[in-house]
Structure 1
């Protein structure tokens, strides 16, 4: 068990997780500036990018790189500084560290070493996009970036298809069209929204159906980072608290996904394993044995 009283006196340093603006510098908080100015060092995803932010606010705190390619080797160095009583702020290029950006690993390592971690509130693209989308906010699921390969992307979406929560994705302008088509193919027609360039001068929301969003993406030049927000499933296939597939054999269960949902056999087997909460290899073996009987 790890119990942290964040503002008690300690001889150890504190790791501060500091969100930075996602476009509009006025979104920085007074508290974030105070922390960035007072810590011993700032661990930054890109020191050149963070240097511009610090220069804008006349902050001269030393910088050290902490990014996807060096985070493991840098971890011990940062932990040692914390153990010696130095305080560190971790920042990403924009938004909240740890959300589709480096940060989770050092936070985990610090907590496992009983070192205090304090997270500041601040800018986050996914939450801005969710609230601005006009889709339900009472329950949502943040996925981040989907896999790049088509089969992996389709498999990931197949796992999310039956969630009733609003779904949040990040995507680059280069893969937006393909991702929208994949979402439409797997989820079918749903309400959705695209948000881009959030908090910046050219901030834009596109709200409509999946077909309307796809049509918009085909007609417009795509620039900036995108958030995709998709309404959750409205097809709760249950009957009086009983799972719809309860009385189906494994073979029938897999075939249902392949025939009615147009899944590949691999994706169908994976979804059946998730439905039944059993290892995928058991579904694979049972399905193929049934097919050869």
Structure 2
């Protein structure tokens, strides 16, 4: 068993608990870890949280059992090496939660108790970070269930299962099945800069972004003019002329006044009154 006791330490009194052995967690063999786990967990339950001895016992348990995180992480190695470090980190969080919640009185091996915590934390990490867009957890879990069911039924039927068949097999509503299938589209996202395939030779590559339309600023103007047409016809002859000169010919109020023999102030009042009338008419129409 890999531990070193201080020889200078005085013999404890009978009423005092034995001091914890000084352990090098990296040198602890698997065959020794089981007994050391029991020893440290037993003492951890009697130590006051926040004390030096408590932190030593807790940290030693964490370091001695990091091999459990490595073991659990191997189940997810097909997710890509780029995420291995993240997997180890979140798996360690699961290990710490297991240590803080473990109770020797349950007579359960710590290994059996800790693995579900570690794996659960890793799965939660993938569930929260793997989706390209945020999807409610209910739909994430439904997508997984639908994927398994579709694969199973495809093997039985020799074809893709219909929505009705999925509904009957899972015992859920058709609306839930449809929502789950749609939610699956949010798992991955393609780049707008990805080239479009299947173009004619010599045409050159275009990205998806180039095919997406943008709002036409002229559409709103066209709609407004179409709505204004009947309102303009209801105006008097002089009001129509002033509107035409001001907005059609882009004349100033002073120039309009000179042409009609009216003051600029008079033209301004007519314009204000006419525009208010047109604005009220548009609001009524909408």
TM bucket (normalised to shorter chain) is under 0.3
Q: TM-score, normalised by structure 2?
A: 0.25
Q: Which structure has greater strand proportion? A: 1
Q: Higher Cα Rg: structure 1 or 2?
A: 2
Q: Per chain length, whose mean CA-contact separation is higher, i.e. which structure has more relative contact order (CA < 8 Å, sep 6+)?
A: 1
